[in-house]
Amino acid sequence: MADSQLPELLGKLFKETSAEEAVILSTCNRVEIYAVSNGLPQHLLNELRAFLIGEEESEGDNIL
């Protein structure tokens, strides 16, 4: 993932999930997302999965 894509991806993450704080860590071979919400952890996890699946379909890459 290009560094230039990270701000847009982070903005979409906040719009599409209940995350109140988040960090996206991108290295040469993986992307990690750390997120915090006041809601149930399982709810945020489900939202993040749906978010990543949506990004995978739009990018055509294997995100998960």
Q: Looking at the whole model, is its pTM more than 0.85?
A: no
φ, ψ for residue 40 (rounded to 5)? -65, 135
Q: How many domains does the chain have?
A: 1
Q: How far apart are alpha carbons 37 and 61 in whole angstroms?
A: 27
φ, ψ for residue 23 (rounded to 5)? -135, 135
Domain span at residue 31 reads 3-59
Structural domain contains residue 54:
yes
Collapsing DSSP to helix, strand or coil, 47 comes out as helix
Structural domain contains residue 64:
no
Q: Work out the number of other CB atoms within 10 angstroms of the CB of residue 17.
A: 22
Structural domain contains residue 44:
yes
Structural domain contains residue 9:
yes
Tokens of 60: 């055509």
What digits encode the pLDDT tens for the residues 17-52?
Answer: 999 999 999 888 888 999 999 999 999 999 999 998
pLDDT in the model for residue 59? 60
Structural domain contains residue 23:
yes
Structural domain contains residue 37:
yes
